[in-house]
Structure 1
Amino acid sequence: MIEIENIATNPKRARILDSAMKVFLAYGFARTTMDDIARAADMSRPALYLQFKNKTDIYRAIALMLLSRSLEQAKTALAGEEPFAERTMRAIDEALISMTRAVNASPHGAELLDMKSSLADLIGCWRGRFAEHIAAAIRSEAERNGVDLTAKGLSVKLLADMLLDGLDGMKMRISDPDEQRQAAAALIKVIDLALQKS
Structure 2
Amino acid sequence: MADRTAEVLDATLRCLLRYGARRTTMDDIASETGVSRSAVYQYVRNKDDAVRQVAARLHDGALRHARAAAGGDAPLPDRVFAILSAKLELTAGPFAESPHAAELLDEQARLCGDICRRFTDDLRALLTGVLTAANRPNAEDTAAILLAAACGLLGAGRADLLRRTSDALLAGLHPKDLEGTSI
The interval holding the TM-score normalised by the smaller chain is 0.7 to 0.9
Q: Which amino acid aligns with 1:156?
A: A
The structural deviation recorded for 1:85 is 0.5
Which of residues 172, 175, 178 is equivalent to 2:157? Answer: 175
The structural deviation recorded for 1:40 is 1.9
2:149 is equivalent to residue 157 of structure 1 = no
Which of residues 69, 75, 80 is equivalent to 1:83? Answer: 75
Is the Cα contact below 8 Å between 1:85 and 1:189 reproduced in 2? Answer: no
Say which is worse superposed, 60-69 or 178-187, in terms of deviation. 178-187
Say which is worse superposed, 114-123 or 43-52, in terms of deviation. 114-123
Q: Which amino acid aligns with 1:77?
A: A
Is the Cα contact below 8 Å between 1:17 and 1:58 reproduced in 2? Answer: yes
Identical residues among aligned pairs (%): 28
- Alpha-carbon displacement from aligned partner over 1:111-142 (angstroms, at most 9, x marks no partner): 66577243222222222221111111111112
TM-score, scaled to structure 2: 0.80
Q: Matched residues in 2 for 1:113 and 1:70: separation?
A: 12
Is the Cα contact below 8 Å between 1:78 and 1:87 reproduced in 2? Answer: yes
Say which is worse superposed, 133-142 or 160-169, in terms of deviation. 160-169
- Of structures 1 and 2, the one with the larger relative CO (CA 8 A, separation 6+) is 1
Is the Cα contact below 8 Å between 1:28 and 1:112 reproduced in 2? Answer: no
1:67-78 alignment, distance < 5 Å: 67-78=59-70
Which of residues 134, 137, 141 is equivalent to 1:141? Answer: 134
TM-score, scaled to structure 1: 0.75
Is the Cα contact below 8 Å between 2:84 and 2:123 reproduced in 1? Answer: no
Moved over 4 A (4+): 110-115
- Alpha-carbon displacement from aligned partner over 1:58-79 (angstroms, at most 9, x marks no partner): 1111111111111111010122
Q: Matched residues in 2 for 1:127 and 1:112: separation?
A: 14
Q: Which runs of 5+ in 1 are unaligned?
A: 1-9, 150-154
1:180-195 alignment, distance < 5 Å: 180-191=162-173, 193=175
2:29 is equivalent to residue 37 of structure 1 = yes
- The residue that corresponds to 1:132 in the other structure is 125
Q: Which runs of 5+ in 2 are unaligned?
A: 179-183
Q: Structure 1 residues 47, 189: closer, same or farther in 2, change over 3 A?
A: farther
